[in-house]
Amino acid sequence: MMELGRHVLHCGDCLEVMATLEPESVDAVVTDPPYGLGFMGKAWDALPPGRDWADACLRVLKPGGHLVAFGGQRTIHRLTCALEDAGWEIRDQIQWVTWQGFPKSLDVSRAIDDAAGAVREVVGRHSGVPGLTAASGWNDGPFTRGEVGTITAPATPEARQWSGWGTALKPAAEPAVLARKPLDGTVAANVLKWGTGGLNLDACRYRPGDMAWPGPGDEVGSYPKGPGGNTYTVGAGPDGTRGKPCDGHPNGRFPANVYHCPKASTAEREAGCEALRQRSAGELTGGRAEGSAGLDCPRTGAGRSSHGRGNHHPTVKPLALMRWLVRLVTPPGGLVLEPFAGSGTTLLACEAERVRCLAIEREPDYCEIIRARWMASTRQRGLEL
């Protein structure tokens, strides 16, 4: 166990650690658990958390407390079902919008030609952009921005028939389930008794110009333009013909179940990790050899420099996103449980929001990354360690 200022980090199995916690002692759960996709061959990503984990979180959370847990697009239903089976109320699904994912789509036309042993004619060349592979005849070999990729034409009639077809969409968002422990009475009674049960909406509004809101740009209130360009008004019908104009809330738009921000930058994820052992690009991409085509492929981590990184966690969430979620579900001075701390972004978010975090991480290397990132964060804030 490490004490990191107001926070505590347990290096161990989350089920074992949660079994030692007092019932109804935690105000919120904010976590980024394994998605169960086998990401980059990592053993810890074999399965999403199950019923035993959902039961353990329910036991330690106060009545009315909220849980936010990320999941994969293809596996979040398993996480959600585990929570529901344990007795959680499923309240919503939040989408973190990034626009940044790489398409992992197979070019059906090219696959047909490859299966037939047919050679495709090169009909053009294109300056490479990471992720533009597959379904429109682009060369699906690895190339990076500024390099040149080839454009090929179907070689067989069957391939021509299926030109432009692929097998996957571009992953531009990641979902998170929002759940709540059943209330102790009414919402009002639960909030007064336990300090939990509501969402801190005003503190999470989108201010004018805030890029976290990816929707319409109308700055009048929280309402979109009505038909014909009319602004919705309080008490009005869909055409905006009745009621009084809505000037909006001074803190901005009403929070939605979408939040837009880019993935964590290299500078953000590496801050404080300079003194840790630097993992090579080959290590970061599953042991691929330096200079190999696989090392440069966008699907396996193109753009990683050969000197590697000190923060070698493969799925670091951005601080802005985790701060927004912590602020949304945590009462002032509350305690947040993070059972899958990873590289520590939830703990850093709690530090920035001035609430406490009880973080658990099984991998010793990741615990060192958390400690290093926290120390850098506190130095930046001018706090005494």
List, as one string, the DSSP characters of 112-141.
HHHHHTPPPEEEEEEE--TT--STTSB--S
Identify which of 229, 230, 252 has the alpha carbon closest to the alpha carbon of residue 241: 230
Q: What's the rounded mean pLDDT across residues 252-275?
A: 92
Same domain? For 149 and 184 the reply is no
Same domain? For 148 and 198 the reply is no
d(CA 129, CA 144): 6
Q: Within a domain: residue 220?
A: no
Most confident by average pLDDT, 55-69, 117-131, 230-244, 275-289 = 55-69
Contact 311, 270 (CB under 8 A): yes
Q: Is the pLDDT of residue 26 over 60?
A: yes
Q: Which domain holds residue 320?
A: 2-100+171-205+257-276+314-380
Q: Within a domain: residue 322?
A: yes
d(CA 72, CA 3): 31
Same domain? For 178 and 295 the reply is no
Two structure tokens written together for 37:
């996709």
Same domain? For 179 and 156 the reply is no
Q: What's the rounded mean pLDDT across residues 163-169?
A: 95
Same domain? For 82 and 13 the reply is yes
Same domain? For 80 and 18 the reply is yes
Identify which of 110, 59, 107, 117 has the alpha carbon closest to the alpha carbon of residue 87: 59
Same domain? For 187 and 287 the reply is no
Q: Is the pTM of this model over 0.95?
A: no
Q: Within a domain: residue 197?
A: yes
Q: What are phi and psi of 191, to 5 degrees?
A: -65, -45
Same domain? For 318 and 306 the reply is no
Among 34-38, 194-198, 366-370, the least confident range:
34-38
pLDDT for position 113: 97
pLDDT for position 137: 41
d(CA 118, CA 268): 47
Same domain? For 295 and 157 the reply is no
pLDDT for position 192: 98
Same domain? For 125 and 181 the reply is no
Question: What does the buried/exposed string (b/e) look like for 281-317 if buried means 16 or more CB atoms within 10 Å of the residue's CB?
Answer: bbebbeebeeeeebbbbbebbbebeeeebbbbbebbb
Indicate the number of domains in the chain: 3
Q: What is the pLDDT of residues 61-115, one digit of tens each?
A: 999 999 999 999 999 999 999 999 999 999 999 999 999 888 889 999 999 999 9
Same domain? For 178 and 305 the reply is no
% the chain with pLDDT above 70: 75
Question: What does the buried/exposed string (b/e) look like for 104-125 if buried means 16 or more CB atoms within 10 Å of the residue's CB?
Answer: bbbbbbbbbbeeeeeebeeeee
159-162 long-range contacts, CB within 8 A, separation 24+:
159/109, 159/110, 159/112, 159/113, 159/116, 159/118, 159/120, 160/109, 162/108, 162/109, 162/112
Q: What's the rounded mean pLDDT across residues 334-361?
A: 97
Same domain? For 87 and 41 the reply is yes
- Tell me which of 201 and 216 has the higher pLDDT: 201
What is the band of 281 on the pLDDT scale with cuts at 50, 70, 90? low
Q: What is the pLDDT of residues 220-240, one digit of tens each?
A: 444 444 444 334 444 444 555
Total residues belonging to the chain = 385
Among 153-157, 258-262, 373-377, the least confident range:
373-377
**Residue the block writes with tokens 């089976």:** 85
